[in-house]
Amino acid sequence: MAVTVKQMLEAANAAVPKITPDQAREMIGKGNTLVVDVRDGTEVAQSGKVAGAVNVSRGMLEFRADPDSPYHDKNFSRDKNVILYCASGGRSALAAKQLKDMGYQHVYNVGGFKDWVDSGGAVEK
């Protein structure tokens, strides 16, 4: 049976908590938190990213998150809180669910980059 994007997003949003930018800042302040920007590099180059975030395009996420992958990024660790965002929250929801499926327990979706900026969140160019 075919699955639609709408169904995938519903499943992702049911599995992964959506947090506010304020909640994200609080978690970041406590440490042991990885912030992941899953937008493409061209998007990040145009707007900047959340200060301290790691940019991993959605298409490379699984390769960067899997410690057995030759492309593993050492910033990813299953004992960290992982906060994801994209342009509007859709890609980050799907990406967050994928990380949950890969064994990451503390995964959160903060939604869109614009929400972060509008809330006064720190940005680096």
Q: What is the CATH number of the domain that holds 37?
A: 3.40.250.10
The reported pTM is: 0.95
Q: Summarize pLDDT for 51-103 with one digit per residue, the tens.
A: 999 999 999 999 999 999 999 999 999 999 999 999 999 999 999 999 999 99
Domain that holds residue 48: 5-124
Q: What is the pLDDT of residues 17-26, one digit of tens each?
A: 999 999 999 9
Query: What proportions of the chain, in percent to the nearest 5, are helix, strand and coil?
Result: 45, 20, 40
Number of domains in the chain: 1
E strands of 9-50, at which residues? 33-37, 49-50
Work out the average pLDDT over 99-113. 97
